[in-house]
Every structure is written in C-alpha cells, then in structure tokens.
Amino acid sequence: MEILVCVKRVPDTAENEFELNGAGNDLDRDDLVYSVNEWDNYAVEEAIQMVDKMGGSVTVVTVGDDESEEILRREMAMGANNGVLLSDDAFEGSDGKGIATILKAEIEKGSYDLILTGAQADEGAGQVGGMVAAMLDYPYASLVNKIDVMDDKTIKVGREIEGGNQEMNEISLPCVLSIQTGINEPRYVGIRGIRKVSSVEIPVKSASDLGLDAASVGSAGAKTRRVDYFVPDMGEGAEMLEGSTEEIIAKLIEKLKAKGGL
C-alpha cells in the first residue's frame, strides 16, 4: 500500500509561551521552537504500522521552507521511507485552499492508495484534508481513530461519537483521511534516530516542478486573509455562589432561569 502523509511544521504549544509581537498583528516568533504537528505524527505512525503489516511505502510531504526539512527527517527517522519538500517563494502566504492546491499537484504526480492528514494543526483550521479530497474528487473521512484494511480497494474507518461510542464506516480507496490523536501510540524518535537519516536525500519541488500557476497559490491566490491577532479581553472571572447547599441550588436555578438556560 502506497501511503502519503501530509505533515506540517508548527510551534508546539507544549514548549512555547505565546505572546503577541510588538506590532500586535502576529505571534512573537523570535523564541519559538517548532516540531511536527502532533496529529500528523499520529498519522505517520499509523501509516508506518500499516506498511509494516502489509508492505508498501510511506511518503511524508510538507509545504514549507528550508527549515521544514527537519520535520520530514524526523518522520523518516521514525520510519517513513521517503520525504518530499514543496518549497517556493510563491507559496508564501497561502491560505488553506492554497496549501490544498499545492498538495493536490504533488499527489497527482504519484499513485497513492491512501492519503493521510492530521485532523487539525496547532495554529491551523482543520480544513486542508477535506479540501484536498474535494479537489481530487476522492472520498474523505475525518477524525479517524481506527483503520481496518479489508482488501486493496476498501477499508473501514472508525470515529468516536457522543457518549464515547464508536462508529465504523466503509470507504473505498484511494481516499483521504484526517487522523485523530489517540489512534495509536507513536514510537519515540530521539537525536540518534535523526542523526541516522541526516544524509538521506529529500527532493525539493518548486511551483514550476508541480506545474502550478503562481497566481493560484500563495498570498496572490489566497481567498482568505488574516486581519487581526489579539488576546481577548479578560472577563470578570467566575462568580462563586456562597451559602449552604440548598441556598446555592436555589440561587443557581434563579440565575439559569434569568439567563434563559431553564
């Protein structure tokens, strides 16, 4: 099975403290450390486990700059067979649709049975997977937490629904899936693993390699544009109800009625 996993380099919420920059229109990116988006990492682990079981290969792809190469190497250290970097100045400022357009161009160059994306990204909007599927006219399932391969044309995918229940759906290949965290337990990749793949070749493809018109991607082709970044005003905080249990219950009912909750 040939699997392509789309990964994104993001500033990890666990290792960063986010503040607005001086101009107040973006995050202060001076001291940020980056890593592969957590959901994408789960997707790569799932792909590797599937290929370990039934053969094939895992390719990881990202749209970014030179620095994005490090996350491709990390996923290859984890076990992905190939990495591709899609990089071009024209790609800067792409919105979700732009990224999807670029990825679609790369996907069409190969013949992949399965395309995985993370369900969402830190600093993302959870839209690229669905857009890529629509552009390719492939079936799409989101928030997948289980994949069972039936045969080389059909797979079953699961997602969690209300009450902690599980829903399973059949979907035909090739298709696009967005992967939810918790689908597996990703293996650890340490400095040593990364050093082992430090000299592996990672091809870089530009807009012209992909046959893309610069006007359809980047800020030139963006249909959405970020206008503001701000920290919301702090509210007064929580109101603490005092008194005995009966008194608190009475007050609570009053407030819920007054605000239209009951």
Partner 1 sequence: MSSIIGPASYQLFGIFPTAILSFVLPVIGIGLFAYIMTRRIAPLVRAAPDNRFDHIGLRIKSLVVVWLGQIRQPRYMLAGVLHIVIFAGFLILSVRSISLVIIGLSDGFVLPGLGGWLGHVYNFIKDYAATFVLIACIVAAVRRGIYKPKRYAVPEKYGKDHTAEAVFVLGIISTLMISESLFEASELAYALTVDGQSHFLAPLSLVWIFKAMLTSASPGFLQGLHIFTYFVHDLAFFFFLCFLPLGKHFHVITSLFNVFFMRVQKGNIKPVQHGIKDEELDSLESFGVKRLEDFTWKHMLDFYSCADCGRCSDQCPANAVGRPLSPRFITIKARDLMFKNYPLSGEIYKSKILVEDIFTEDEIWSCTTCGACEEECPLGIEYIDKMVDLRRGMVDEGMVPQSLQKPLKALEKRGNPYGKMEKKRAEWADEAEFKAKHSIKDLGEETADTLYFVDSITSYDDNIQEIARRTSIILEKSGVDFGILGKDEKDSGNEVLRFGEEMLYQDLKQQNTEAILASGARNIVTADPHAYNALKNDYKGLPEVKHISQVVAQKIASGELELKTCQNPDKVYVYHDPCYLGRHNGVYEAPRQAMDAINGLTRVELEKSRDRSFCCGGGGLMLFFEPEEETRMGVLRVNMAAEAGANVIVTACPFCLVNIQDAIKVAGKEGQMEALDFTELIEQHLK
User: Is residue 189 within the footprint of partner 1 (CB under 8 A)?
Assistant: yes
> Token pair of 45, please?
């682990």
Q: Which of 195, 149, 159, 168 is nearest to 50 (CA)?
A: 149
User: Is residue 51 within the footprint of partner 1 (CB under 8 A)?
Assistant: no
User: Is residue 15 within the footprint of partner 1 (CB under 8 A)?
Assistant: yes
User: Is residue 56 within the footprint of partner 1 (CB under 8 A)?
Assistant: no
CA distance linking residue 1 with residue 171, whole number of Å: 15
Closest approach, Cβ 207 to partner 1, in A, equals 32
- Binding-site member from 23, 31, 153, 234 for partner 1 (CB under 8 A): 31
Partnered with residue 178 across adjacent β-strands are 117
CA distance linking residue 157 with residue 211, whole number of Å: 33
User: Is residue 12 within the footprint of partner 1 (CB under 8 A)?
Assistant: yes
Three-state DSSP state, 139: coil
CA distance linking residue 104 with residue 132, whole number of Å: 6
- Binding-site member from 56, 124, 130, 186 for partner 1 (CB under 8 A): 186
User: Is residue 14 within the footprint of partner 1 (CB under 8 A)?
Assistant: yes
Q: How many helices (H) and strands (E) does the chain have?
A: 8, 12
Closest approach, Cβ 196 to partner 1, in A, equals 8
User: Is residue 23 within the footprint of partner 1 (CB under 8 A)?
Assistant: no
- Return the number of other C-beta atoms located less than 10 Å from residue 197's C-beta: 18
User: Is residue 258 within the footprint of partner 1 (CB under 8 A)?
Assistant: no
- Binding-site member from 22, 23, 162, 192 for partner 1 (CB under 8 A): 192
> Which residues are at the interface with partner 1 (CB under 8 A)?
12, 14-17, 31, 33, 35, 78, 185-193, 195
